[in-house]
């Protein structure tokens, strides 16, 4: 009996930990931009000369920003695993797998952004060595950066719909997720135009990204409070069910 009574606490502890990871992930990705954007990180579609100028003078700053990214990817993965844990039992009962779709999106965005960061480091290295940053390399960076909106959209749709069906997220939170997904997916679809030149289309991805950060923070709070919020008692009981 003692073992049975303590198991739910352990499981909900993991879900709460994943909620804290979501907040940490949001903090780190915002901090990464706080470090690089004010320093003049070139926008998507920027002129190669501006790219060379930035990476030749701000290579150390690019390195500092990259230090945050491994932790951010680890936290994003933990967040996704906790969300799946909280939703899976109810989804299995409904013969659905929205949370797995969302988790796959998180993993894919980790992989895509790892390539983005690797390209930035490569650009900083070549510029620091007195060699011009390759225009082709920056074009690849822009394409990966913009196409990553596809994977963010998958994460947003999967975890928003799964959370709403389980009664875990509120209607406004669900709506924010879907709007963000639509903006990011639209930006990814328009990648050839977005990367060809700077312009207002880049605001699609920016608006979607800002909503994505707000959505992650809200989801983290939901997971942290899962076992204490009266609105989510049913979801909490589902999270206490059989292991995956």
Instruction: Enter the pTM of the model.
Output: 0.85
Instruction: Measure Cα distances from 111 to 18, 115, 169 in Å.
Output: 20, 7, 27
Angle ∠(142,148,151) on CA atoms, nearest 5? 170
- Smallest Cα–Cα separation from 166: which of 223, 128, 116? 223
Average predicted confidence (pLDDT) for the chain: 85
155 CB burial (10 A radius; 0-12, 13-18, 19+) = buried
Calculated CA dihedral for residues 37, 135, 52, 212, nearest 10 degrees: 10
Q: Is the pLDDT of residue 235 over 60?
A: no
Tell me: the pLDDT tens digits for 32-90?
999 998 888 888 877 877 888 888 888 888 888 899 999 999 999 999 999 999 999 89
Q: What is the pLDDT of residue 196?
A: 79
Q: Is the pLDDT of residue 238 over 80?
A: no
Q: Check residues 57 and 170 and name the one with the higher pLDDT.
A: 170
Q: What share of the chain is helix, strand, coil (3-state, %, to 5)?
A: 80, 0, 20
**What one-character-per-residue DSSP string does 59-108 give?**
HHHHHHHHHTHHHHHHHHHHHHHHHHHHHHHHHHHHT--HHHHHHHHHHH
Q: At what angle do helices 69-94 and 2-36 cross, to 10 degrees?
A: 130
Rg value, the chain, Cα = 20
- Smallest Cα–Cα separation from 225: which of 161, 152, 158, 173? 173
* Distance, first Cα to last Cα, the chain: 22
Q: What is the pLDDT of residue 195?
A: 83
Q: Which residues contact 202 (CB under 8 A, 6 or more apart)?
A: 43, 44, 45, 187, 194
């Amino acid at each position: 009996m003692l073992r049975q009574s303590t198991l739910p606490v352990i499981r909900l502890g993991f879900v709460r930990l994943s909620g804290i990871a979501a907040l940490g992930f949001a903090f780190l990705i915002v901090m990464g931009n706080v470090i690089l954007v004010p320093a003049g990180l070139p926008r998507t579609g920027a002129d190669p000369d501006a790219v060379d100028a930035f990476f030749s003078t701000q290579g150390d700053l690019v390195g500092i920003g990259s230090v945050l990214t491994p932790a951010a990817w680890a936290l994003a993965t933990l967040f996704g695993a906790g969300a799946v844990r909280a939703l899976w039992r109810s989804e299995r009962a409904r013969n659905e797998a929205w949370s797995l779709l969302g988790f796959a999106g998180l993993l894919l965005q980790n992989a895509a952004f790892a390539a983005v960061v690797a390209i930035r480091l490569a650009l900083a290295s070549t510029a620091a060595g007195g060699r011009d940053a390759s225009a082709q390399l920056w074009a690849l960076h822009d394409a990966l950066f913009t196409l990553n909106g596809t994977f963010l959209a998958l994460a947003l749709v999967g975890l928003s719909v799964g959370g709403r069906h389980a009664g875990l997220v509120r209607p406004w939170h669900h709506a924010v997720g879907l709007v963000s997904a639509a903006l990011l997916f639209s930006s990814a679809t328009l990648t050839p135009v977005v990367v060809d030149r700077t312009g207002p289309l880049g605001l699609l991805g920016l608006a979607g990204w800002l909503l994505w950060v707000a959505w992650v923070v809200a989801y983290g709070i939901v997971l942290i409070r899962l076992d204490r919020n009266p609105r989510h008692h049913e979801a909490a009981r589902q999270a206490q069910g059989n292991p995956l």
